[in-house]
Amino acid sequence: MTERREWSIAVHGGSGSMPKERLAGREQAFHDALGRAVTLGAEMLRGGASSLDTVEAVVRLLEDDPLFNAGKGAVFTHEGTIELDAAIMEGKTLECGAVAGIRTVKNPVTLARRVMERTPHVFLAGDGAEAFAREVGVDIVDPSYFRTQERWEELQRELRRESTNAVSLPTPEMGTVGAVALDREGNLAAATSTGGRTNKRFGRIGDVPVIGAGTYANNRTCAVSATGKGEEMIRHFAAANVSARIEHGGRSLAQAVGEVVREVLAPGDGGLIAVGPDGVAVLEFNTEGMFRGAADSSGRFETGIR
């Protein structure tokens, strides 16, 4: 039997195809960014922080990094705007919060936590979520804060393809950041944040803020954060699917994650990070790569891309 870890943290920064132009000369930058996120989580958990505080802080760090499609590095919609989604959940009580269609909140994951803690609701969207953000005093920024030249150029390429009906490869699915953690008290938590998909239209919302699809935590089973094709994660209830296989099917965490990634989802759909009550973390994907990292009290510390 595997010895229980006192604490554990796993992070991801999106999964999908790995275009050479996106990674050229920057692989070390991605490793460094993931390493900073893992280090922050490890230091907090080692010092006795709760898993909930930890996943929020780690996702905030990733939201502030323009390398990733969340917060500062978010992709553009068809109309040239930014729309952000996030969710957070803690495993002890199953309390959770989610927001979608956010345009002015610097760190959507923190707003999701405010929804969880300061309202009787789970999910707020659009103008109502923005109004709530102003009411509870989270950091508000001008929408121009989120603009990066790289993401703007990605949108222009997509628009040109549309206008010429050009045949092209699908837009890379690297649209999420997330964290899962186990703390010293034995509590699990998960948080996920995203800018969605380049050139998305009609207020499209993916799996990230859908509790059970992109984000889930339950002390009895696991904490999970998903990344990849949001529609497929929703259709297959990917995050909660892992939990159900453990609770009702007697699977180990590794078995449950493996079954969902390899048998339920189709090749190229994405990946999952998960941690169980024993602190064992599993990071698995069926795409070309997944930006990821993990650490625990046994001495594990790693980051990976491909």
Helix (H) or strand (E) holding 281: strand 281-285
Q: 304 pairs with which residues across the strands?
A: 292
What lies within 8 Å, CB to CB, of 54 at 6+ separation is: 9, 41, 44, 45, 179, 181, 183, 189
In whole angstroms, give the CA distance from residue 99 to residue 257: 26
Query: Is 176 a residue of the active site?
Result: yes
Helices H / strands E in the chain, number of each: 9, 12
3-state SS assignment for residue 10: strand
Q: What angle do CA 191, 65, 173 make, to 5 degrees?
A: 65
Helix (H) or strand (E) holding 220: none
> Which of these is catalytic: 54, 77, 110, 176?
176
Contact of 182 with 275, CB cutoff 8 Å: yes
195 C-beta neighbours (distance < 10 Å), count: 29
Q: Which amino acid is at 129?
A: A
3-state SS assignment for residue 190: strand
Calculate helix-pair angle for 108-118, 126-136, nearest 10 degrees: 80
In whole angstroms, give the CA distance from residue 232 to residue 235: 5
Residues designated catalytic: 176
